[in-house]
Homo-oligomer: A and B are copies of this chain.
Amino acid sequence: MLYIVEGPQQGKSLKEEIEARGVPAWYVELWGNYIVVTPPNVRLQGLNTPVKAAIELKTDSQLVSREWKRDPTPVYIGGREVREGKIFIIAGPCSVETEDQIMKTARFVKEAGADALRGGAFKPRTSPYTFQGLGEEGLKLLAKAREETGLPAVTELMDPEDMPLVVRYADAIQVGARNMQNFTLLKKLGRAGKPVLLKRGFGNTIEEWLLAAEYVALHGNGGIILVERGIRTFDKTLRFTLDVGAIAYAKQHTHLPVIGDPSHPAGDRRYVIPLALAILAAGADGLIVEVHPDPDKAWSDAKQQLTFDQFRELVQKAREVARALGKS
């Protein structure tokens, strides 16, 4: 149940009243609302604290549900708005490699029309023997590119202990597919004070994805952007199977922005543009895409990063498809 109250004081009082009955309760301030939350199947009679609204939902992904919050939630990355009705493009290399590489890319993607810069400093790698990212050094380079270009920076956080570091250098924190159900990390991100890009796990259902977002929201952070990036299926022709149905579903059932990553499902730059356009046509509010000055020499994901020319072509086509869909 969601109980909308007047303010923090009433929230505190209601939370205590409910907990006194042996029922867990949380108080959160989200999207301009003061909310006391209980498990969805709990119905409490005769509460004394007055409430503005008591909302019962059938799902466990209560806070992020569009059933009670019909208006879409905008999320701000470094002051720039990600929201329904327009498209937001995040671009940059898979990994931050060198100062030259990230500066060049940042300048280029800005000029080509990107809204934010991506770049990994902590890399979750399947094998312990492959490049694991530059760590803090990478964050510093990313921050430098941000300063010069003015593009907000997005980067991945793996270890909860690194949260202060990442928060210092980046404008938005990415949760990788492999950490989507790292509940320890999700809970801590509730207190990050920066928006979270929540990638869908390649083995996770849509419901689990929304519930991962619910963890972040319930622990205090409403700045969540859902990122579809492909799932594992029996077909291995492309690297992953992009699930555009998940985008269509998430857009209808949550009020959060939803964007798509065409690079990881493509696995090969030849397929990135059609996948990106499909993401937008399915209703996504933006893209996060890998771009590299010299993709074949990239230290990770060499095959799937776009060249500068391809990225320019992508932005142009993306803007045209957006217009056809009545978006800016």
Q: With A277-B325, A324-B320 in contact, do A237 and B128 touch (Cβ < 8 Å)?
A: no
Q: Which residues of B contact A283 (CB under 8 A)?
A: 274
Pair A248/B274 contact, Cβ less than 8 Å: yes
What class of interface size applies to chain A in its complex with B?
35 or more
Q: Which residues of B contact A248 (CB under 8 A)?
A: 238, 266, 271, 274-275, 278
Kindly state the separation between the CA atoms of A218 and B130 in the bound complex, as whole angstroms: 13
Q: Which residues of B contact A320 (CB under 8 A)?
A: 324-325
A198 within 8 A of B: no
Q: A245's contact among B181, B218, B275, B317, by CB below 8 Å, is which?
A: B275
Chain B residue at minimal CB-CB distance from A268? B249
Q: Which residues of B contact A24 (CB under 8 A)?
A: 129
Nearest 3 CB-CB pairings of A with B: A203-B203, A281-B281, A324-B324
Give residues in A with beta carbon < 8 Å to B. Answer: 24, 38-40, 60, 124-130, 158-161, 178-179, 181-184, 201-208, 211, 214-215, 218-219, 231-238, 241-249, 251-252, 265-266, 270-271, 274-275, 277-283, 317, 320-321, 323-325
